[in-house]
A and B are shown apart, each in its own frame.
Chain A
Amino acid sequence: MSASPETVSAGSARFTRYFIYGALIILAVVYLLPLYVMLSTSLKSLDEIRGGDMLALPTDPSIAAWLKAWGEACIGVSCVGIKGYFWNSIKMVVPAVIISTLLGALNGYVLTKWRFPGHKIVFGMMLFACFIPFQAVLIPMARLLGLMGLSNSTTGLVMVHVIYGLGFTTLFFRNYYEAFPDELVKAAMIDGAGFFRIFWRILLPSSGPIIVVTVIYQFTNIWNDFLFGVSFSSGEASPMTVALNNLVSSSTGVKEYNVDMAAAVFAALPTLFVYVVAGRYFVRGLMAGAVKG
């Protein structure tokens, strides 16, 4: 007896659905367009690029530009490609992500399960650190690195990124552990586990989602960072992002767009890789705290 209103609502629901999917597809295409241009340009020859059709597929795809960007392109005066800088970035990002994530987890653990007088103020100050702009800490940080003898070194950059990232990682883990039942910690205490044992055996194994979130967040930020890299390193010690900038701006004679694009793809690959591998946990991890809390 209520058949007609049902068909009407089903019809309008279908229309809404088409509209939503349509909008999503258009926006996804817009968003992916630069990646497409980057990839296709990197596979074209210079002649073809000069032809001017940016959106056309490469007629004769070749990875020559990729090989050149990796091993021969000139960055400043040395023409050795970006591979050294790529490894610089890896050497910077891996320890920085691991250390800042572990310390953030430890901070979150202490701030929720081993509360001490003033824990709120400490957490408030760590939170405040998230809102300090990069530019504000450049000069004091440079001075500190100089005093510690770490200027222009990968170790120095690792330290800078750990310090700057700690506010965020602590925030992530604190909020995650806030929803973690205290009774589990109490039970482990009665069972005879100590401070680190509880952390290592009880909390960390249950922290999968938030570890993924933190790792992706930190990896992306540190890998993509340009300001700290350009401020605290130079020449051979530069990370990938700085080298990419130098490559693009230091071309003499003909501008090799395909090489620039190939180098840019190299610079984007690791973050893409991390996102593809762990991305589905990322959204789940972001949601986990909300649902439980």
Chain B
Amino acid sequence: MNTKDKSWKILSLIPIIAVLVILTLIPLVNIFYNSFFDIRWDDGKYNYTYIGLENYIELPNNKFYLPGLINTIKLSIFAVFFQMLFGFLIALGISKIKRGKGLFISLFLLPILLPPIVIGSIWRLMYGFDFGIFNYLLSFFGVFPLDWLGSSSLAFTSIVIVDIWHWTPFVVLLLLAGLESLPTDVYEAARVDGTSGWNEIIYITIPLMIPTIIVTMVFRFILSFKVFDEIYLLTQGGPGTSTEVISFSIYETFFESDNMGLGSVMSVVSLFVVSLLIIIVLNVIRRVNKYAN
């Protein structure tokens, strides 16, 4: 390789490195730095007052953050469980059919590709107390209208339902890719031995799919920590803190209450928690891949 090519290599990597350093690394340093200050916006500029660990000490007393963290974890667990369950059923179903496969895949792609804010709008209309479709349908069965988003016992479940609806298709996509790359000779051998449909699924498909299932599950689990848009439109974290999630607490603190110091602490702690989960996840994925090969 000549020197000219060396300059190409450097030039081709400069843009990506520049973006990552300026727009991801510096912000990380920035929120860490911010977290030790009380920051006020006055006279068109930020005024920093050093307050040491005060923001960190205040965090556990914050009404929203810890409940939000617990809710986020709860939401992830419940939603991902059902996403995996329905996702596996649907993926299995699609993998078995020949006619209409493309049509079903297109349909199941929709929730992933459409604006989450629209999904929020739709569900907000459907959950509506006075003229939502759910209460309308319930009225036929003589059930009193439910306050889907306004009652603290029901709101969280309502959010979980939306998340399941929104992200099951993503699970379908990943599991379907896994199902279609399974070796066919195992199935042929089983068929010769006279294995029936259900036994085939339980004794061959599921064991072979375990690596894909685990990877998909942990991946979805981490990504559900990003949830924001639906919460913003459906409940704004309420009633009380029953649907509060970390992204919404950070947004509120940083942008609505203009408390940038505390918002930064929330960001730092959230990043720490999610990073910890990512380390676990990447380890799990590495082990699963090792086991799979």
A interacts with B: no
Which residues of A pack against B, CB within 8 Å? none
